[in-house]
């Protein structure tokens, strides 16, 4: 795919720039036990999405204040669980050689995003978290906000994702989407290392 028109890259965080899958699964497993939900049912809908969206799906009986409390509890379980959080393969090399503007757009809140990015040794020029928007992925608001902050039209952005809700959000924003882990994006990649030559000046 020709990416010569791309002027900015919008990265998802968890599973894309940061390998935090184990920590995410541990948190949701504990949370599922506390809230009486089958962990497998939670895992089936939680990947890449804001905690509140997942809570609403698996516990539709909860009131909105209860949903917020349950989402807060899920995030709380993750804040200090950083022992095995690292950068994904190829992330540091890609970012070191990237000459385009870039940002991270994540379904995490700002505290968790900064904790995980710090654990992975990644310094981010522009960060958009769930705290900065009204509606999370699969809504495009986060990616539209990221493009706006970088001063680049969404159509000239490459979104890099590893979850279907994120791909949906990127496409709805009007961006080209590169997808990891076999997810169906406009461009399928197996690692971030594959992007480096495609984005070289």
Question: How would you write the pLDDT of the chain (201 residues) with one tens digit per residue?
Answer: 789 999 999 999 999 999 999 999 999 999 999 999 999 999 999 988 899 999 999 999 999 999 999 999 999 999 989 999 999 999 999 999 999 999 999 999 999 999 999 999 999 999 999 999 999 999 999 999 999 999 999 999 999 999 999 999 999 999 999 999 999 999 999 999 999 999 988
| Domain assignment of residue 38, given as a range | 21-76
User: Which pTM value belongs to this model?
Assistant: 0.92
Give the count of domains, the chain: 2
Residues noted as catalytic: 12, 14
> Do 137 and 59 share a domain, yes or no?
no
Outline where DSSP puts E strands in the chain. 8-11, 18-19, 86-87, 101-105, 127-128, 157-161, 176-179, 187-188
Q: Are residues 95 and 177 both part of a single domain?
A: yes
């Amino acid at each position: 795919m020709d990416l010569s028109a791309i002027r900015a890259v919008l990265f998802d965080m968890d599973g894309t720039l940061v390998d935090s899958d184990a920590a995410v699964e541990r948190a949701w497993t504990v949370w599922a036990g506390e809230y009486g939900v089958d962990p497998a049912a939670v895992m089936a809908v939680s990947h890449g999405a804001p905690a509140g969206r997942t809570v609403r799906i698996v516990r539709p009986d909860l009131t909105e204040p209860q949903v917020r409390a349950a989402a807060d509890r899920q995030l709380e379980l993750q804040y200090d669980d950083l022992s095995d959080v690292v950068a994904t393969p190829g992330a540091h090399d890609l970012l070191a050689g990237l000459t385009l503007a870039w940002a991270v757009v994540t379904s995490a809140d700002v505290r968790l995003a900064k904790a995980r990015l710090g654990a992975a040794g990644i310094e981010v020029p522009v960060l958009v978290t769930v705290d900065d928007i009204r509606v999370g992925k699969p809504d495009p608001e986060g990616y539209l906000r990221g493009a706006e902050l970088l001063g680049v039209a969404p159509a000239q952005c490459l979104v890099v994702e590893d979850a279907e809700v994120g791909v949906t959000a990127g496409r709805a924003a009007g961006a080209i989407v590169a997808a990891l882990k076999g997810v169906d994006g406009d461009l399928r990649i197996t690692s971030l290392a594959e992007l480096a030559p495609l984005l070289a000046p």
